[in-house]
């Protein structure tokens, strides 16, 4: 099993500013390479103060300049809010500047607040995504492309420069039916149960393997994003669970919630799920429990875990946890390979 550190990039205090926010983000990526993580996951969100990376490709290029082997996973680029004729060229440029280390994760977007403010209603994102994905793949794989569809109509054109390295695609999807369809089509899949219980995770993994079984030639990988924070005491566990719960008060507001945002700052709202219930679902625990729970993920066939470990705690605590996780947990899990394939 491999591990990817998710660059959450929260600006819970607006006084932090972008310079400090992104310096800390790059420092986490450099530390992830030092600790032996396979890669980093780079989010994309706009107009809000959590997961705040407006240009994931730009961030990938910056990190590539400071690392040598780290896989750079966009997690995810939102296709419905972009023009694929522009984006395809940006992808080729980023792949060239990242020395071929880019894994292009794409999806339809998750926050109705931001897509709505960009004039793409959430109810339209799925249809727009499907056509945008087809256009993007055509532009990246065929020299000359014309299109006549619902959202794209254009005469023959060629994206320049042409890709010199393969650009692997990973689809970010959560619904089991969508996961199964993506795996059936041979795509790498990135999914997450967010703060939900283990049963939701099991249904997502089962959907991936149902789809993969229908495509015997597929070499697709399954990446699971999950809250992961290694603690050394019960008191630290309780504190980090409370910190994560406060973060989800903001997240839930824009993910399926009312989308109440005050000058870019998401308003924290009460949650139906208690802090203790959240702590039972995500992996905020001590060493032995962490190893056991992640080993169960490996037994299920999950190829890599994208670890969401930043919930608003100080940067120093994040870096220290990453070091501890790499020393005490990763050596037990890295040798494990997919058993359910």
| φ, ψ at 171 (rounded to 5°) | -95, 130
The pTM for the full model equals 0.96
- Residue 285 bridge partners (DSSP): 230
Cβ 71 vs Cβ 101: under 8 Å: yes
Contacts of 326 (CB under 8 A, 6+ apart): 35, 36, 37
Q: Are 21 and 323 in contact (CB under 8 A)?
A: no
Residue with tokens 């004729």: 85
pLDDT of residue 337: 54
Closest CA to 163 of 126, 137, 183: 137
How confident is the prediction along the chain (341 residues), in pLDDT tens digits per residue? 999 999 999 998 888 999 999 999 999 999 999 999 999 999 999 999 999 999 999 999 999 999 999 999 999 999 999 999 999 999 999 999 999 999 999 999 999 999 999 999 999 999 999 999 999 999 999 999 999 999 999 999 999 999 998 899 999 999 999 999 999 999 999 999 999 999 999 999 999 999 999 999 999 999 999 999 999 999 999 999 999 999 999 999 999 999 999 999 999 999 999 999 999 999 999 999 999 999 999 999 999 999 999 999 999 999 999 999 999 999 999 887 544 33
Q: What is the 3-state secondary structure (H, E, C) of 221-283?
A: CEEEEEEEEECCCHHHHHHHHHHHHHHHHHHHHHCCCCCCEECCEECCCCCCCCHHHHHHHCE
């Amino acid at each position: 099993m491999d591990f990817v550190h998710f660059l959450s990039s929260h600006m819970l205090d607006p006084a932090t500013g972008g310079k400090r926010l992104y310096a800390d983000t790059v420092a986490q990526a450099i530390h992830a390479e030092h600790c032996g993580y396979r890669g980093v996951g780079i989010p994309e969100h706009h107009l809000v103060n959590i997961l705040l990376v407006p240009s994931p490709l730009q961030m990938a290029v910056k990190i590539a300049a400071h690392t040598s082997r780290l896989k750079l996973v966009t997690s995810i680029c939102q296709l419905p809010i972009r023009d694929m004729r522009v984006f395809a060229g940006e992808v080729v440029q980023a792949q060239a500047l990242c020395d071929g280390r880019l894994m292009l994760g794409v999806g339809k977007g998750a926050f109705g607040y931001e897509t709505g403010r960009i004039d793409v209603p959430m109810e339209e994102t799925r249809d727009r995504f499907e056509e945008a994905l087809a256009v993007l793949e055509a532009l990246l794989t065929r020299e000359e492309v014309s299109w006549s569809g619902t959202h794209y109509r254009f005469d023959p054109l060629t994206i320049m420069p042409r890709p010199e390295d393969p650009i692997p695609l990973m689809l970010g999807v959560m619904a089991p039916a969508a996961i199964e369809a993506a795996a059936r089509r041979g795509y790498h899949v990135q999914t997450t149960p967010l703060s939900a219980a283990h049963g939701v995770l099991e249904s997502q993994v089962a959907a991936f393997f149902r789809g993969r079984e229908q495509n015997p030639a597929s070499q697709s990988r399954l990446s699971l994003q999950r809250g992961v924070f290694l603690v050394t005491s019960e008191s630290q566990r309780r504190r980090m669970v409370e910190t994560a719960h406060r973060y989800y008060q903001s997240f839930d507001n824009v993910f399926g919630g009312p989308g109440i945002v005050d000058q870019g700052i998401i308003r924290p709202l009460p949650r139906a799920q208690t802090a203790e219930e959240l702590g039972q679902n995500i992996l905020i625990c001590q060493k032995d429990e962490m190893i056991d729970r992640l080993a169960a993920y490996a037994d299920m066939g999950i190829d890599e875990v994208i670890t969401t470990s930043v919930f608003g705690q100080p940067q120093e605590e994040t870096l220290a946890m990453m070091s501890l996780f790499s020393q005490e947990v990763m050596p037990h899990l890295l040798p494990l390979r997919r058993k359910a394939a």
